[in-house]
Each structure stands twice: as C-alpha cells, then as structure tokens.
Amino acid sequence: MAKFIRFCLFFMMLTISSVVGDGDYAYDYDDAYAPAPASIPASTSAVPAPPPASTSPVPAPPPASTSPVPVPPPAVVPALFAFGDSLIDSGNNNQLFSFAKANYLPYGIDVGGPTGRFSNGYTILDQIGVLLGLPLLPSYSEEFNVDTMRFGVNYASAAAGILDVTGFHFVERIPFSYQIKNFENTLVNLIKNMSAPIVKEAIPKCIFFVGMGNNDYLNNYIMPVYFTQDQYSPQKFAELLVHQYKAQLTKLYDLGARKFIITGIGQMGCIPSMLAETSGGGCSESVNKMVHPFNSKLRTMIMKLNKDLAGAHFIFLDMEYMFKDIFKNHKVYGFSVIDRGCCGLGKNQGEVTCLPFEIPCANRDEYLFWDAYHPTSAVNLLLGRMAFYNDANYSYPINIEQLALI
C-alpha cells in the first residue's frame, strides 16, 4: 500500500518538483577578510560532567523560536552550524510548498507544540548543542538576527539529500548543495554585522554538523519510481554519493570550516516504514546491506580528508553501530517498544506516518521510534550523549567533546 501511494505521488508531482535556495552567490572572501585582525577567543573551559545515563530529557533551552534564546554558559565553541534532513530539521520546511513537514500536532507534543522538528520533542542536534553550551539553533528560514545566529544556524531540510534530485516527489526541499549556499549568505550577513576579521577568526573554531544520505536511499534509491537501482548497483551508488559528498564538504572547508561532525546512516531496514513492508515484520536486511557500503566508503573518505585538508578535523558518527547497540540493549537503555512507531497508522504504525492531531502513544519515552521514519526524543537525546562523550565505537577517531576542545 505504501509503495502504491509513493508511486501515485510520483506522477502527481512530476512536473512541479523544485528545490529551494538562493541563487548562485559569489564574492571575494579574501577582500572581505582584509581588515586588521581581531578575534573571538576560543573557550578553554571544560564541558559539564556527563548527565546520568538515562533517556529522560536533559535540561535544555526552550524550543527554537523567533525570539532570542539565552546562551547557557559556558560555551565550548563559538557556534554550531548544521546541515541535514528531517532528522535534524527544526523548521526550514515550514514555509515551503512541501509534503515533508512537521509543523502540526502531535509533533512537538512534549515541548509545548510543533516547531518543525520531526519528533515529539528534541533532535540529536539539540542535545549536542546544549552539551556544547549553545542555545537551540535558529532555522535559516527565520529572519536574520545576529544576536541568535552568531551562535549558529540550522540549514537542514526534510527530504533533502546529497543529490539535488533526491526527494523531488515531496516538491520543495533544500538539498545539501543549496544549504551550503545558504551558509554563504549567513557568512555575508555575519560579516556585515560583526566585521570580517571577527568572523574569519571564529569560523575555524566552530563545529559543522552534517548529516546527509538518508533520503538518497529512502527517497531515491529504494523507491522504484526513481529508477536509480536500474542504473547503479549498491556499490556504485555509494561511490556516486561519496564522490559528490566529498566535493560538498570540501566546499565548506574552502569557506573556512575546520571542525566537522559527519553522521553515517543508521539501521534503515529497521525503521517502522521498512518493518511494515517485510512479510514477517522484521528488519529488512536487504535494505541494511544496501546502505552499508555508503557508511563504509564515507568513513574511509572522512579519514582521507583528515590527511588531505590542512588543519581539518573530521569525525565520523557511526549511526549504524549506535542503532545496533540500542536495538540489542534496548531494555538496558529503557526502551520496551522497538518494532513500531509511537504515532502512525497501519502495520507497525509505519505504513502511514504521523497525521495531524493523531493521538500518539502515551509512554513515548519507552518507544524507539516516534513515527514511521524518525526516533523519539528520548532516543535522540541518548544518541547525542553517546556521540559527545563515548569512545571510538560511536565516534571516530575522537568524540565531539574532544573535537570541541581542539
């Protein structure tokens, strides 16, 4: 049934698909940075001690909004800039003509209402930001405000991919290449409001979180209407993605980024939408095997970039390993429901994702999945702590805490 719906949407949207982003914008960064140097001092203060290993929400600022959010001291880095898809989108799709939106209840049910996050509460990015001592990031779609955006911006867009064509059946979305252009626009505005030398000094000390690739499989390669599987084997498609990804990450490096967090893809074959399509209701191992080459090649590429790009520090978040760990030890982590969504319809609550004003499960902190595709807030907070504090099994070659202090 889910495949039939997707197939119909393909023909409905074929002629009206579009990507959203500002036009090509180029200017001479060397000229912009010409004035005498000034600096934002790098913070050397240590992050707070790790919170207890539980799935209850950590203390955090209020949900992202248009009003300024105070910075929780001490900030470990000047700012956090984030690029990705619906796993971290915090509202960039709200104003788009898109089917990929989460601006309605019950999304955000546990944080006072919908913000655009595809969660009942927070995302992994929110947790990492708080641990870095930063406020929740404003979405790029919000009106520029130097008082909030100097601490970072979230450019993520639901349905976005490494490839521009990915997710076109959702109509408007902001692919990674356009998210990078939006970051360039932010740089321009920061320079206008803070001066070029201050921005130039600060950007290499900032952290750049990038989580792309999920939709290139879920809303491209795996979907028959894209015909991508007819053109590429799983190995060749992974090579295509990683080649494009490398060029995009190098572009961010050329814009001044030096500290990168790059996430792999989790156990995609085990999300409720995939469970609903298997005959026995178990994980789709064919999908997990299909995605694995991307994770493997991405990790290798990241290690090579660490060697090839002077001053760069890339870390790889092994989401595949993290989710395997959580699935295997879900009771230890406090989760009792791992095979269906908390909000959704059909088999495994994964055939139709969370609908407006649908009544979700009451025991949300016990669920691994919030809807057909996304983890619950409890899982996102756990993942954030794993990536921030733990060892190379989760984050390689160092963890986020160590990256921040470089």
* Residue 39 domain flag: no
* Residue 259 domain flag: yes
Q: Which domain holds residue 368?
A: 2-12+75-404
Output the pTM of the full model. Answer: 0.85
CATH number at residue 318: 3.40.50.1110
* Residue 356 domain flag: yes
* Residue 244 domain flag: yes
Catalytic residues: 86, 371, 374
* Residue 65 domain flag: no
Give 10-residue mean pLDDT values along the chain (406 residues): 44 45 35 28 31 35 32 80 98 97 98 97 97 96 95 98 97 98 98 96 98 98 95 98 98 98 98 94 94 98 98 98 97 97 97 97 98 98 95 93 96
Q: What is the per-residue pLDDT for 6?
A: 43
The tally of domains found in the chain comes to: 1
Written in H, E and C, the secondary structure of the chain is CHHHHHHHHHHHHCCCCCECCCCCCCCCHHHHCCCCCCCCCCCCCCCCCCCCCCCCCCCCCCCCCCCCCCCCCCCCCCCEEEEECCCCCCCCCCCCCECCCCCCCCCCCCCCCCCCCCCCCCCHHHHHHHHCCCCCCCECCCCCCHHHHCCEEECCCCCCCCCCCCCHHHECECCHHHHHHHHHHHHHHHHHHHCHHHHHHHHHHCEEEEECCHHHHHHHHCCHHHCHHHHCCHHHHHHHHHHHHHHHHHHHHHCCCCEEEEECCCCHHHCHHHHCCCCCCCCCHHHHHHHHHHHHHHHHHHHHHHHHCCCCEEEEECHHHHHHHHHHCHHHHCCCEEEEECCEECHHHCCEECCCCCCCCCCHHHEEECCCCCECHHHHHHHHHHHHHCCCCCEECCCHHHHHCC
* Residue 36 domain flag: no
* Residue 169 domain flag: yes
